[in-house]
């Protein structure tokens, strides 16, 4: 056995959004003797993760390979955030509890959420009285309590924790995953929409979203209604949205979208009219019909690279990142043990 002469395994996490940073922290926790480096060309405010409302709420069509895997990701994610929420890191990491309503006039089914029911502390049908708290004459509603994570705080916290635990961060653009072969044994590809170019993955599609960040510290409830209307408080601001524009790459703020967002949100919560708007923001949700978390062994003249992909979280990356991170690390460990006995590992 040459185990004693083995050099430390070196792992690159590509991407510093919520998916990359939760993966990097999971690697430090589960593989403390590996050398782990996060490489990205955008950090903190420059990422898509930064502007997300951050509410823990998977959409009905959020999907992994199988319903069981999807359920496990969501369950593991909730446990992760709930543990943080119950710890003395809650404030620094920007994790808070929030309750709210979801309203619809179309059907009862729209206001239900099978992935949240039974997981969060409360998810029930709204009472007749509750349907009339907010204007709109809503026919269907649900009341829920969940968690909300403010990435403005979470990403800096995660970067700090990662470095404190011995991880390294590098700022650079990767043109081809294979260029990482020289330096790393493994890559976890958390490049979000970047995977469209990097992996020529045509299944990756942007779903453009625009939001307003407003000052309304009095607003404690999260509200959802039809036509992508939402008002979600988190620790640093209230996010008011939104829109979902499939296959749009336009990162500029559209005054037309702003006006439509305000009109719908003010109708749902008239008091919001007086809330000062801090900023307007556009993000491209890295959508893939099935979120890709899977291993791949890539060979080229430059060498062999073991990759675990972890991208395509769409509009639910904050919700699902810790769960997919855990799954990606499990896959990486399996690749690693399968490789023991190979020349390099
Ligand atoms: C308006 C809006 C509201 C949202 N609200 C919510 C919400 O309430 N709840 C929720 O769960 N989700 C929400 N989301 C979705 C969430 O923002 C995304 O799912 C999440 O941010 C995806 O994270 P990510 O780490 O995959 O991508 P990103 O944050 O985009 O990070 C990608 C990283 O990869 C790096 N990268 C990519 N390519 C390369 C390369 N070639 N070389 C080097 N680095 C590279 C980038 O620099 C970056 O660091 C919302 C999204 C939008 C747009
Ligand atoms: C996901 O669901 C939304 C409505 O909730 C729908 O508009 C969208 O087309 C769906 N996307 C996919 C890929 O199924
Ligand atoms: C919902 O339906 C009710 C009854 O038909 C109607 O009065 C109300 O205006 C509708 N609300 C919305 C927001 O469309
Ligand atoms: C990363 O590098 C680029 C180009 O050198 C620079 O413009 C950017 O400010 C750097 N970002 C960070 C967070 O250091
Ligand atoms: C949503 O949009 C549709 C189509 O534009 C419209 O008929 C409906 O009234 C809108 N619903 C709400 C609650 O604004
Ligand atoms: C190294 C690399 O980019 N590997 C793959 C990423 O995923 C696509 C499929 O979506 C492959 O074609 C690439 O070879």
pLDDT tens digit sequence for 282-307: 999 999 999 999 999 998 888 899 99
SS3 assignment, position 319:
helix
Q: What is the pLDDT of residue 340?
A: 55
Query: Rounded to whole angstroms, how far apart are CA atoms 113 and 119?
Result: 10
Domain assignment present for residue 269? The answer is no
Q: Does the CB atom of residue 289 touch ligand 2 within 6 A?
A: yes
Residue 275: inside a domain, yes or no? no
Using a pLDDT cut of 90, give the percent of the chain over it. 91
Residue 344: band (very low, low, confident or very high) from pLDDT cuts 50, 70, 90: very low
- Structural domains in the chain (count): 1
Hey, whose CA ends up nearest to atom 27 of ligand 1?
192
Name 287's bridge partners: 205, 313
Extract the tokens encoding 314: 């769409």
Is residue 211 assigned to a domain? no
47 Cα–ligand 4 center, Å: 13
Here the tokens at position 185 are 């044994």
194: CB partners within 8 A, 6+ apart: 14, 15, 311
pLDDT tens-place string over residues 205-222: 999 999 999 999 999 999
Residue 276, domain member (yes or no): no
In a domain, 327, yes or no: yes
pTM for the whole thing? 0.94
Q: Is 107 in the pocket of ligand 3 (CB under 6 A)?
A: no
Q: Which of 58, 61, 111, 205 is the pocket-test mutation for ligand 2 (most atoms within 8 Å of CB)? A: 61
**Helix, strand, or coil here: 250?**
coil
pLDDT of 6 reads 58
C-alpha of residue 224 to centroid of ligand 2, in Å: 16
CATH of the domain at 193: 3.40.50.720
> Is 274 a pocket residue for ligand 2 (Cβ < 6 Å)?
no
Please give the full DSSP string across 126-138, using - where no structure is assigned.
PPTTGGGTSSS--
Is residue 218 a part of any domain in this protein?
A: no
Do the domain assignments include residue 170? yes
143 Cα–ligand 3 center, Å: 19
203: pLDDT confidence band, cut at 50, 70 and 90? very high
Residue 135 in contact with ligand 5 by CB distance below 6 A: no
Residue 47, domain extent: 10-96+106-203+285-338
Which residue intervals of the chain are DSSP H helices? 18-30, 67-85, 90-93, 151-164, 195-198, 255-268, 317-339
CA distance 158 to 153: 9
Q: What is the mean pLDDT of residues 91-111?
A: 97
Token pair 């002469």 is found at: 5
In ligand 1, which atom is closest to the CA atom of 313?
19
Measured between alpha carbons, how far is 165 from 159 in angstroms, rounded to an integer? 10
Atom of ligand 6 nearest to the CA of 178: 1
* pLDDT class of 229 with cuts at 50, 70, 90: very high
Look at residue 222 and tell me if it is in a domain: no
Report the nearest atom of ligand 3 relative to the CA of 225: 13
Check whether the bond before 242 is cis (ω within 30° of 0): yes
Confidence of residue 345 (pLDDT cuts 50, 70, 90): very low
Say whether 101 sits in a helix, a strand or coil: strand
Q: Is the CB of 141 under 6 A from ligand 3?
A: no
Environment class of 293 (CB within 10 Å of its CB; exposed 0-12, middle 13-18, buried 19+)? buried
Nearest-CA residue for ligand 3 atom 12 is 136
């Amino acid at each position: 056995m040459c185990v004693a002469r083995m050099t430390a395994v070196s792992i690159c996490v590509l991407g510093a959004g919520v998916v990359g940073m939760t993966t990097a922290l999971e690697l430090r926790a589960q593989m403390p003797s590996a050398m782990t480096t996060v490489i990205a060309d955008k950090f903190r405010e420059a990422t898509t993760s930064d502007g997300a409302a951050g509410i823990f709420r998977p959409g009905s069509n959020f999907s992994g390979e199988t319903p069981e895997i999807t359920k496990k990701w969501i369950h593991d994610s909730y446990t992760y955030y709930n543990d943080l929420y119950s710890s003395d890191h809650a404030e620094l990491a920007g994790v808070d509890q929030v309750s709210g309503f979801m309203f619809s006039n179309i059907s009862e089914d729209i206001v239900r959420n099978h992935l949240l029911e039974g997981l969060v502390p409360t998810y029930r049908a709204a009472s007749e009285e509750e349907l009339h708290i907010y204007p709109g004459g809503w026919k269907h509603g649900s009341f829920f309590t969940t968690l909300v994570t403010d990435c403005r705080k979470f990403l800096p916290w995660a970067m700090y924790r990662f470095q404190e635990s011995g991880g390294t961060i590098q700022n650079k653009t990767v043109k081809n995953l294979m260029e990482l072969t020289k330096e790393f044994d493994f890559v976890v590809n958390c490049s979000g929409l970047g995977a469209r170019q990097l992996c020529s993955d045509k299944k990756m599609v942007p779903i453009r979203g625009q939001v307003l960040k407003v000052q309304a510290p009095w607003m404690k409830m999260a509200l959802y209604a039809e036509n992508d209307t939402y008002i979600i408080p988190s620790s640093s601001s209230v996010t008011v949205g939104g829109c979902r524009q499939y296959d749009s790459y336009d990162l500029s703020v559209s005054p037309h979208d702003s006006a439509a967002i305000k009109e719908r949100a003010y109708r749902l919560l008239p008091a919001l009219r007086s809330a000062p708007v801090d900023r307007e923001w556009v993000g491209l949700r890295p959508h893939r019909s099935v979120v890709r978390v899977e291993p791949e062994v890539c060979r080229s003249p430059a060498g062999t690279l073991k990759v675990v992909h972890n991208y395509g979280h769409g509009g639910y990356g904050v919700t699902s990142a810790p769960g997919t991170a855990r799954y990606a690390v499990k896959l990486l460990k399996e690749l690693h043990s399968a490789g023991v006995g190979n020349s390099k590992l």
